[in-house]
């Protein structure tokens, strides 16, 4: 397992669109220290590598699909009322440069 | 040096389902911004995705048309990234198990037939639409959540022409299957091109360039042709191709740099935990395929079997809606060839003149076939039919009714006509003698006399036949 | 006369007899909400609640929840009522739709009187990290002990007798742990039994709707209202619902209950062990077969880190919609990237951000196999191990916590057995979607502690029937802090 550095964590945070204080990154490095140790212990558990990864709590396979029927849309004003910046019935952002 | 282009296409097709991929929000185009949105499409906290059955059926049908294996378990993953047009901060897509895989398409170009491999077909949801003004962007969520099919070809294409034919064929498929409008200009079919060059005869791939913003099939071909020559020149002069994204500039007909590709984005894919695996039964898949609308190539065979030639058939098939119109019209039992002629000729010219599509054409398929039946039965002449047709375009009433109103129904009843023929022949014995002496014009005179007597209502074909029979008898 | 300290059935009887009206009940609850000194509430719905009482349909008087006040955790979307998830990211957010749970409660005639505070976005088990700060334990008048979280306000409001029941959510033990600290019944039915539509997701594959009552029967009554298929939630189960009160008087005779040896071994508190053993003896007396069963110590120790990795990973994605664009406060910026970064940097607390980084890091391509996928594999081993126990036993019963409510300033040794196993094992029930209930077991220095009983998926009736017997044995029910010990 590679060592977790402050720089890597900062990049990870920035890609998640936020930043933290220096002291928080230090704190996080020590949290990772414990977590990585724990995960390494898990790696040693017999059969863990060959187990099928589990996403759902139990077998929930089903054959349900929603019928393609449209319901009435929400009122435009209601849909937009929680946004901080609405112009002409649309949410405004600084120009998005592609 | 001689180069070979290696081209792969990623096509996004917007489905025209009634509701969205994961919500019951309505799918519609051209509505006012943010009027076709529900809470799921906005990604409000606590909303959950529920898979649209028709979207799955559509994906099965297109997969089948592309000769793909269809996965009987439907699963979705989250593609995580932040962008202004992405409501939830992730897009629900099928990264690990696309519903369709390993297919192909046969295309015909000026160089002959080629088989193009298709790697995968998967379902996903569209993002919201951004309207850019000079200093800000506006977000319209009507498009957010509309079902998409993404079709990824193998890098089997070699020329701009091949790419254009390939896209044309995909467009025909999604259009005939009623999956999408397939309109590139309106964005319901979008195409990204990946292209690299390599020395002919070598196997190793060169550096890949991506071309975006292609809004017509013609532009796909132009962009690829330009890109091939651009890259060839660089390579010929010993240059290096940069890994970058370019767009096609319509004005200059050139590809221009959008951005240099940096490291591949890590989308942190993982299974969408809201959507448990969906098991598709064999019956469900079979039924989706069995009830699938006909593809153009299937229709072509059917039209040929009805006696249409390939040229006329293809004229009908150039527009799916016209071919559907034709299919509806032939149900009446009217002569298929005659009907085709009317649609290709008279109907098409009205559409062209008025600049409308067949969908807004007032004369219904059943009214048109009624008119054609009247011609077939000899109840109206071609000339009369054209007059009726002109009236029907203005006011779509039944041609039978027009016939009654005009009181100009042709006399096609043999016994009635025979009596008139006998009467006129009796009165013109000299003409009979002239005809028998070889003066063919005498026959025309007799027929003319009959027309005069019936005020033009005598069925012309039948009249000539009866007159000949009558003369022979004397 | 006070009613809010009574059980649902008692209040219902009082309404039917005409002793009290829904309006009087709501007023009593609202007054109590206003006087609350434990920091339980985000928003008191005084106007909304009174309006709703007006609209009550008297022909539905027979519904057990008719006119009865309820408190809802602030991570359930409530139409026209502010819902923040106790995060500054959602200050001022007023949803335009209600969660399915709220709709079902309202349909049954219950009246939402307040939104309860919580750990920010339901992450954290202390009840200290929400934007309103620490929520205190009503059993401790000195305000030095926590009620625990993340459903802290929901727990404290029922423990304090402000309402007879409340809705929380449980991703690791967020209802079942505070229930232990508050002498409450905290029930988390199977994954998929109750619709989660409108519940702000923390970790989708582990999130459960769960709730607090003060006795087992009320818990069954509530499940009758909340359980059932909802087409808006794809994970909602098609399994038919039952009358969950039907088997409440069933005998425990012959039922097999497993006590996990390694969990017991990791507990040092003697009061808890004594109370638990006393309860076991009583159950055996009634004919239950209670046996110690072993589960691999390594697996039990793995529950917590497995939970952390999976829940943090899912939470980074689940909360990516909080970006300041569509709802919630927005910070300024020159570009959308700057707006999102400034908004999220300011809006999320430190703890949340650290958890997001853990989750984001675990999902990176180069780390997924060793972190996220390994955790998912380990989850399978853990769930398999417990399912193996359920092959032979009707339920698993253990103390819900190794100690009573912690002090505000307490800290745990993150690597000790007591912390890793006894204090965090209950997440196994989230991993396997098992129905799991915490109920009072005893007191130490006037602070309560509870036991936890877990059963097979969708065996809610079976779990409730054993829980009822446990309750009968301890005699601990309808406990309210202010009048209690």
- Select from C99, C205, C363 the Cβ nearest to the Cβ of B46: C99
Answer yes or no: is pLDDT of C170 > 50.
yes
Answer yes or no: is pLDDT of C384 > 80.
yes
**Residue B171 binned pLDDT confidence (cut-offs 50, 70, 90):** very high
Q: Are C331 and C342 in contact (CB under 8 A)?
A: yes
Answer yes or no: is pLDDT of C434 > 60.
yes
DSSP track, B184-199 = TTTTSEEEEEEEEEEE
**Residue C268 binned pLDDT confidence (cut-offs 50, 70, 90):** very high
DSSP track, C82-106 = ---TT-GGGTT---SS--HHHHHHH
Range of the domain at C81: 1-485
Of A37-41, C176-180, C228-232, C480-484, which range is least confident?
Answer: C480-484
| Interface subset of B 238-257, CB within 8 angstroms of A | none
Query: How close is the nearest chain A Cα to the Cα of C360, in Å?
Result: 6
**Residue B468 binned pLDDT confidence (cut-offs 50, 70, 90):** confident
Of A28-42, B130-144, C352-366, which range is least confident?
Answer: A28-42
Q: Does B277 touch chain A (CB under 8 A)?
A: yes
Residue with the larger pLDDT of the pair B412 and B5:
B5
Q: Do C358 and A38 touch (CB under 8 A)?
A: no
pLDDT tens per residue, range B224-247:
999 999 999 999 998 899 899 999
pLDDT at B409: 66
pLDDT at B165: 96
Is B72 in a helix, a strand, or coil? coil
Chain A residues in contact with B37 (beta carbon < 8 A): 73-74, 76, 79
pLDDT at A62: 86
Domain holding C103: CATH number? 3.90.1300.10
Is B459 in a helix, a strand, or coil? coil
**Residue B258 binned pLDDT confidence (cut-offs 50, 70, 90):** confident
> What are the tokens at B389?
């047709």
Which DSSP state fits B68?
A: -
Helix axes B296-305, B310-317, angle to 10 degrees: 140
**Residue C417 binned pLDDT confidence (cut-offs 50, 70, 90):** confident
DSSP track, B85-100 = T-TTSEEEE-SSS-SE
Phi, psi (5° rounding) for residue C311?
A: -70, -40
Q: Mutation test of the interface with chain B: which of A15, A64, A65, A72, choosing the one with the most B Cβ atoms within 10 A? A: A65
Answer yes or no: is pLDDT of B168 > 90.
yes
The whole-number average pLDDT for the span B8-27 is 97
Catalytic residue IDs of C: 73, 150, 174
A31-38 contact pairs (CB < 8 A, 24+): A31/C354, A31/C358, A32/A4, A32/C358, A32/C361, A33/A4, A34/C414, A34/C415, A35/C305, A35/C308, A35/C309, A35/C358, A36/A1, A36/A4, A37/C415, A38/C301, A38/C302, A38/C304, A38/C305, A38/C415
Q: What is the pTM of this model?
A: 0.91
Of B158-167, B359-368, B376-385, C315-324, which range is least confident?
Answer: B376-385
pLDDT tens per residue, range C3-51:
999 999 999 999 999 999 999 999 999 999 999 999 999 999 999 999 9
| Interface subset of B 258-277, CB within 8 angstroms of C | 266, 268, 270, 273-276
Of B241-255, C144-158, C456-470, which range is least confident?
Answer: B241-255
Could you tell me which residues come within 8 angstroms of residue B320 by beta carbon, excluding any fewer than 6 positions away?
B172, B175, B176, B296
pLDDT at B397: 87
Rg over CA atoms, chain A: 23
In the block, residue with structure tokens 């997440």: C427
pLDDT at B198: 93
Can you tell me the distance from the alpha carbon of A48 to that of B302, in angstroms, rounded to the nearest whole number?
58
pLDDT at C253: 97
The whole-number average pLDDT for the span C327-352 is 96
pLDDT at A97: 79
**Residue A71 binned pLDDT confidence (cut-offs 50, 70, 90):** very high
Domain tally, chain C: 1
pLDDT at B73: 97
pLDDT at C210: 98
Q: Do C344 and A16 touch (CB under 8 A)?
A: yes
Answer yes or no: is pLDDT of C483 > 60.
no
Helix axes C297-318, C350-363, angle to 10 degrees: 100
pLDDT tens per residue, range B405-460:
776 667 777 787 888 888 888 888 888 888 888 888 888 888 888 888 777 777 77
In the block, residue with structure tokens 């089997």: B156
pLDDT at B407: 67
Answer yes or no: is pLDDT of B315 > 90.
yes
Query: What mean pLDDT is reported for chain B?
Result: 92
Chain B residues in contact with C235 (beta carbon < 8 A): 48, 274-276
Answer yes or no: is pLDDT of A6 > 50.
yes
Chain A residues in contact with B135 (beta carbon < 8 A): 94-95
Query: What domains sit in chain B, N to C, each tagged with a CATH number?
Result: 3-195+258-278 (no CATH), 294-406 (no CATH), 414-473 (1.10.10.410)
Chain C residues in contact with B50 (beta carbon < 8 A): 231-234
DSSP-H helix ranges across B291-381 = 296-305, 310-317, 320-330, 336-342, 348-354, 365-376
Name all chains with 3 or more CB-CB pairs below 8 Å to chain C: A, B
pLDDT at C409: 84
**Residue A2 binned pLDDT confidence (cut-offs 50, 70, 90):** low
With CA atoms as reference, report the closest residue to C394 among C284, C252, C242: C252
Answer yes or no: is pLDDT of C485 > 70.
no
Prior bond to C423 cis, omega within 30?
no
Query: How close is the nearest chain A Cα to the Cα of C378, in Å?
Result: 6
pLDDT at A1: 57
Chain C residues in contact with A97 (beta carbon < 8 A): 335
Query: What is the three-state SS of chain A?
Result: CCCCCHHHHHHHHHHCCCCCCHHHHHHHHHHHHHHHHHHHHHHCCCCCCCCCCCCCCCCCCECCCECCCCCCCCCHHHHHCCCCCEECCEEEEECCCC
With CA atoms as reference, report the closest residue to C69 among C82, C86, C54, C50: C50
pLDDT at B408: 63
């Amino acid at each position: 397992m590679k060592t977790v550095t402050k720089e890597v964590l900062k990049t990870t945070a920035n890609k998640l669109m936020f930043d933290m204080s220096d002291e928080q990154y230090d704190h996080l490095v020590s949290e990772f220290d414990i977590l990585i140790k724990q995960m390494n212990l898990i790696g040693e558990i017999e059969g863990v590598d060959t187990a099928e990864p589990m996403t759902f709590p139990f077998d929930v396979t089903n054959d349900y699909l929603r019928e393609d029927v449209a319901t009435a849309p929400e009122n435009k004003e209601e849909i937009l009322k929680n946004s901080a910046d609405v112009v002409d019935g649309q949410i405004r952002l600084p120009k998005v440069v592609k | 040096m001689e180069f070979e282009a290696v081209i792969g296409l990623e096509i996004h097709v917007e489905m025209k389902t009634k509701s969205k991929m994961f919500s019951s929000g309505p799918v519609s185009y051209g509505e006012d911004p943010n009027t076709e949105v529900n809470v799921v499409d906005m990604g409000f906290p606590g909303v959950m995705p529920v898979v649209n059955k028709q979207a799955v059926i559509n994906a099965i049908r297109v997969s089948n048309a592309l000769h793909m294996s269809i996965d009987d378990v439907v699963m979705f993953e989250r593609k995580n990234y932040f962008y202004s047009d992405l409501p939830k901060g992730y897009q629900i897509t099928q990264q690990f198990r696309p519903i369709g895989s390993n297919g192909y398409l046969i295309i015909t170009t000026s160089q002959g037939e080629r088989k193009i491999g298709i790697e995968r077909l998967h379902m996903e949801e569209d993002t919201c639409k951004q309207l850019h003004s000079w200093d800000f962007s506006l977000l319209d969520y009507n498009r957010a959540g509309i079902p998409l099919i993404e079709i990824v070809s193998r890098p089997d294409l070699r020329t701009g022409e091949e790419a254009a034919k390939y896209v044309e064929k995909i467009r025909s498929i999604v259009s005939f299957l009623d999956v999408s409008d397939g309109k590139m200009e309106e964005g319901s079919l979008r195409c990204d091109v990946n292209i690299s060059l390599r020395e002919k005869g070598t196997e190793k791939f060169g550096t890949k360039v991506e071309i975006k913003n292609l809004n017509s099939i013609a532009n796909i071909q132009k962009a690829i042709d330009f890109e091939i020559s651009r890259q060839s020149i660089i390579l010929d002069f010993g240059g290096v191709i940069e890994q970058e994204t370019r767009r096609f500039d319509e004005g200059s007909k050139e590809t221009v740099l959008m951005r240099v590709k940096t490291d591949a984005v890590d989308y942190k894919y993982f299974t969408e935990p809201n959507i448990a695996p969906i098991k598709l039964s064999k019956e469900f898949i079979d039924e989706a395929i069995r009830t699938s609308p006909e593809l153009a190539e299937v229709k072509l065979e059917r039209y040929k079997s009805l006696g249409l030639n390939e040229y006329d058939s293809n004229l009908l098939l150039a527009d799916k809606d016209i071919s559907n119109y034709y299919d509806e019209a032939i149900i009446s039992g009217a002569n298929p060839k005659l009907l085709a002629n009317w649609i290709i000729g008279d109907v098409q010219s009205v559409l062209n003149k008025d600049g409308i599509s067949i969908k807004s054409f007032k004369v219904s398929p059943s009214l048109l076939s009624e008119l054609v039946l009247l011609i077939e039965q000899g109840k109206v002449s071609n000339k009369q039919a054209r007059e009726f047709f002109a009236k029907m375009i203005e006011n779509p009433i039944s041609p039978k009714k027009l016939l009654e109103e005009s009181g100009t129904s042709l006399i096609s009843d043999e016994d009635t006509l025979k009596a008139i023929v006998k009467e006129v022949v009796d009165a013109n014995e000299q003409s009979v003698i002239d005809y028998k002496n070889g003066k063919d014009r005498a026959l025309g005179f007799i027929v003319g006399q009959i027309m005069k007597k019936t005020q033009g209502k005598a069925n012309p074909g039948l009249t000539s036949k009866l007159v000949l029979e009558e003369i022979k008898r004397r | 006369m006070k009613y809010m300290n009574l059980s649902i059935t008692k209040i219902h009887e009082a309404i039917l007899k005409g002793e009290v009206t829904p309006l009087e009940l709501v007023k009593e609850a609202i007054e109590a909400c206003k006087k609350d000194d434990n920091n339980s509430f985000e928003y008191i719905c005084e106007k909304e609640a009174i309006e709703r009482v007006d609209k009550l349909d008297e022909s539905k008087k027979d519904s057990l929840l008719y006119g009865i006040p309820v408190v809802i955790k602030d991570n359930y979307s409530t139409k026209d009522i502010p819902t923040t998830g106790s995060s500054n990211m959602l200050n001022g957010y007023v949803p335009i739709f209600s969660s399915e749970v709220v709709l079902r409660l309202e349909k049954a005639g219950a009246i939402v009187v307040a939104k309860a505070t919580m750990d920010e976005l339901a992450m954290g088990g202390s009840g200290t990290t929400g934007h309103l700060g620490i929520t205190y334990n009503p059993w401790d008048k000195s305000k030095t002990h926590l009620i625990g979280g993340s459903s802290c306000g929901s727990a404290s409001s029922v423990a304090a007798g402000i309402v007879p029941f409340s809705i929380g959510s449980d991703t690791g033990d967020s209802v079942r742990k505070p229930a232990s600290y508050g002498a409450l019944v905290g029930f988390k039915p199977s994954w998929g039994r109750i619709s989660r539509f409108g519940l702000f997701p923390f970790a989708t594959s582990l999130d459960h709707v769960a709730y607090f009552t003060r006795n087992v029967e009320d818990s069954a009554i509530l499940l009758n209202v909340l359980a059932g298929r909802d087409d808006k939630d794809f994970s909602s189960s098609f399994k038919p619902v039952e009358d969950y009160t039907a088997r409440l008087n069933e005998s425990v005779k012959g039922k097999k209950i497993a006590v996990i040896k390694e969990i017991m071994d990791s507990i040092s508190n003697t009061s808890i062990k004594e109370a638990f053993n006393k309860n076991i003896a009583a159950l055996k007396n009634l004919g239950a077969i209670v046996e110690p069963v072993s589960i691999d110590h390594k697996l039990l120790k793995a529950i917590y880190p497995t939970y952390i990795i999976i829940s943090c990973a899912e939470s980074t994605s689940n909360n990516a919609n909080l970006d300041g664009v569509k709802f919630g406060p927005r910070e300024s910026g020159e570009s959308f990237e700057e707006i999102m970064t400034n908004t999220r940097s300011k809006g999320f607390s430190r703890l949340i951000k650290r958890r997001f980084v853990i989750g984001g890091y675990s999902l990176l391509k180069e780390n997924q196999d060793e972190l996220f996928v390994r955790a998912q594999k380990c989850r399978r081993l853990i769930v398999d191990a417990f399912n193996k126990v359920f092959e032979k036993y009707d339920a698993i019963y253990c103390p819900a916590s190794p100690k009573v409510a912690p002090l505000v300033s307490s800290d745990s040794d993150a690597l000790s057995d007591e912390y890793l196993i006894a204090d965090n094992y209950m997440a196994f029930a989230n991993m396997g979607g098992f129905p799991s209930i915490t109920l009072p077991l005893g007191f130490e220095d006037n602070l309560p502690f509870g036991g936890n009983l877990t059963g097979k998926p969708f065996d809610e009736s079976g779990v409730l029937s054993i829980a009822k017997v446990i309750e009968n044995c301890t005699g601990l029910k309808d406990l309210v802090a202010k009048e209690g010990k």
